[in-house]
Each structure stands twice: as structure tokens, then as C-alpha cells.
A = this chain, B = another copy of it.
Amino acid sequence: MPRTVAERQDVIPILAEVFRRYGYEGASLSRITEGTGLGKGSLYHFFPGGKEEMAAAVLAHIDDWFQRQVYTPLRQAGSPYEGIAAMFDAVCRYFLSGRKVCLVGVFALGNERDRFAQAVSGYFRDWAGALAMALENGGLASTPARDLAEEVVGGVQGALVLARAWDDPQVFSRMIRTLRERALAVIARTDATPDALPSRAAG
């Protein structure tokens, strides 16, 4: 008997958990079946392309979340300071303070990078790009803004590695706090000395 009529949309977050837990290769259909409570028939009904389509759907879901919760605030917040602060809050929430890994980061390091190249590179490109833009709006020049953005986005990935390696969420929180203070200090400093700001559409 059919247990419950599911919707494709509801399955994706569970798929994400399975992929995060076992990786792409390790996420077998039997484990996916176990996690979702759906048989292969239902899974292939929702995702005719099989496992690859499931992973692609998960990546699209992640991208959507970050677009709305991270990049948009970064681009449209009242001030660069608020946008960057909101970004760090969202990131800590998302990764459960280091208890959850970044699937895109895992894919980037593994063989999956080539198969999902666009989603993987786009995720980090959008993130670092939006952050660099906010830093520029905060008064930084182009190159240091790009460098600091890369340092922050890469730093989050490194913090996740250490937190997993040591099974210690505290190291994640500690490293994020350092990154946050460094990024906000740059903005705050330029805000405190407005005469040092470059002309930004002073109309």
C-alpha cells in the first residue's frame, strides 16, 4: 500500500541529508529509499534521470536557499555592515554551527566536481562576488575586497573541515567569529572615516 502521497519538493531536503551524510557515491539508492521512505518506483517517478538528477535537484535547492538567504541580503541590505552581519548569521544557522557539512564543498573536492561543474563553481562565485561587492560598497578597493571575500568564503569551508575533523563545533564558531570581526571591522572603520570613502554615486 502507498504510505503517503509525497511531493517532489518535500523529498529534496531529505535527499540533501543523505548526500551530505554519505557523499555522492556512498548515497546508494537503498540508503535513499531508507531515508526518504520511498521506493525506487516513486524516486524514478520524481527524478527520471536517477541519482544524477537527484543530486542536481539538491544543488539547485541549495543555490535557491543561498540566493534568498545570503546573496540577496548581501546585495540589498540597508548597509554593507548589516548585509555582511546577516550573511554570517545565515551561514551559522545553515551549517548548524559546524555540525553540518557543505555539500558543494564536498562535491568540489571530489570527483563530482566535473559532473556538476557549473553548480559548484557558480555557488562560490556568487557568494564571493556578492560579498566582495558589499565590501566595495563599504569602502574597500576592488582587489582587497575580492581577497577578503575569498578569505571569508574559503575560511568557512576550512572551518567546516576542522570542525568535522575534531568533531568540535566550537572551533567552527571560533573561526567564524574571527572572520566576521575582520570583515565588519573593515566596514566599520571606513564608516567611521567617511572622508576616506571613494565617491560612490554621490547624487
Contact = CB atoms under 8 A, between A and B. Distances in A.
Contact of A105 (B113, B128, B161, B171): B161
B147 A154 contact: no
Contacts of A109: 101, 105-106, 109, 160-161, 164
Given A125-B166, A155-B155, 6 more contacts: A108-B164, A109-B164, A121-B165, A123-B165, A124-B166, A154-B162
A14 interface: no
A15 interface: no
Interface of A: 21-23, 25-26, 101, 104-106, 108-111, 113, 117, 120-121, 123-125, 128, 147, 150-151, 153-162, 164-167, 171, 174-175, 178
A153 B147 contact: no
Given A22-B111, A110-B23, A154 B150 contact: no
Contacts of A162: 108, 124, 128, 150, 153-154, 157
Contacts of A104: 165
Nearest to A165: B108
Contacts of A147: 174, 178
